[in-house]
Structure 1
Amino acid sequence: MRGFKVVSFFEDKGINIPQRKTKASAGYDLEAAIDVVLNPGEVKLVPTGVKAYMPEDEVLLIYIRSSLAVKKGLLLANGVGVVDADYYDNPENEGHIMIPLFNPGKEPVTIRKGERIAQGIFTRYLKADDDEALGQRTGGFGSTGQ
């Protein structure tokens, strides 16, 4: 089983569950949960208001929507986002997916609530033969690097 749910802070705030737009689309469109202005040279975490659940051997990869990159000149600050299965319902932020956008331009860029900003693709991953990872996630965004 895999899918999306609205995080508790954004319940009753008009958040749409990510959807694929065509039957051959790989990605689920993620929308901005609030209006955000990105000033030139600025990186901001744009809230989506959703979290993703999936089996332990899957990951949700986050990519910027090509239309956002081309039309507004924005970049995904980390290149590709990785949402691990154990990020869901973590005690720090409930698994809230935040999209780190970077504005390399010379003018401010406005993102409006409901604007599709990224796409998430669920995929399985493989483990090395000698993998012995036994740690437990205790934090939210960026916590596996601690």
Structure 2
Amino acid sequence: MSQERKRGFEVIQAYQAQNIELPQRATTHAAGYDIAAAEDVVLPSFYKQIFKHVALELKQWIHGSGQDTSRATEAEILQPTLVPTGLKAYMQEDEYLQIVNRSSNPLKRRLMLPNGFGVIDADYYNNPSNEGHIYVQLINFGLSDYTIRKGDRIAQGIFVPFLLIDGDEGGQAVRSGGFGSSDDNNHLQEEA
């Protein structure tokens, strides 16, 4: 008798030969599965980016130069870094994978998830855009750039059930896009 798959992690095709380890719980009673970076990523210092932006603005103001189109925009300065994990997750239709920060990240590394926690929906798994590749958004609020190395534990994943309201008919669209696709209606397609 074969056992039905309920929830778990898999390595996406693009990272099959990269020695990606599947997430594990660190202790017997741990709720979260430790998720590691799939490659080295430099996280720019948030404060360093702001300082550079202010310095450029001040320099322009002092010298009275025209508008410099090479300056960083506010969105670029405040942009979190997407750290690839090489993973995808499968789960039941009434569950989602919650991506939460490791407790040591803010204290020891000065790293945080800008959105508090991430939500990976069941229909993100194997989507045609990116196979359901899980990325972790991080901001470095330290004073210097921080390099995450491949294999560094950067977040935890917790599988969570959710409830529906009375009369819920669900979204009428089917996910066809990847990261943040529900923000972009071009990636949602009506079911036939």
More helix by percentage: 2
Structure 2 segments unaligned to the other structure (5+ residues): 1-5, 47-78, 185-192
What is the percent sequence identity of the aligned residues? Answer: 55
Write out aligned runs for 1:1-146 (5 A): 1-41=6-46, 43-133=80-170, 134-146=172-184
After superposition, give the CA deviation of every residue in 1:36-89 in whole Å (9 maximum; x if it has no partner): 111112521000000000000000000011112210111112111000000000
Query: How far apart, in 2, do the equivalents of 1:56 and 1:145 lie?
Result: 20
More displaced 10-residue stretch of structure 1: 113-122 or 71-80: 71-80
- Give TM-score scaled by structure 1 length: 0.97
How many pairs were matched up? 146
Q: Which has the higher strand share?
A: 1
Q: Please list every run of at least 4 consecutive aligned residues from structure 1 whose deviation after the TM superposition is greater than 3 angstroms.
A: none
Q: CA deviation at 1:90?
A: 0.3
CA distance in 2, matches of 1:70, 1:33: 22
Secondary structure at the residue paired with 1:136?
Answer: strand
What secondary structure, in the 3-state scheme, does the structure 1 residue paired with 2:144 have? coil
CA distance in structure 2 between the partners assigned to 1:59 and 1:89 by the alignment: 14
TM-score, length-scaled by structure 2 = 0.74
Unpaired runs of 5+ residues, structure 1, are none
Structure number, greater radius of gyration? 2
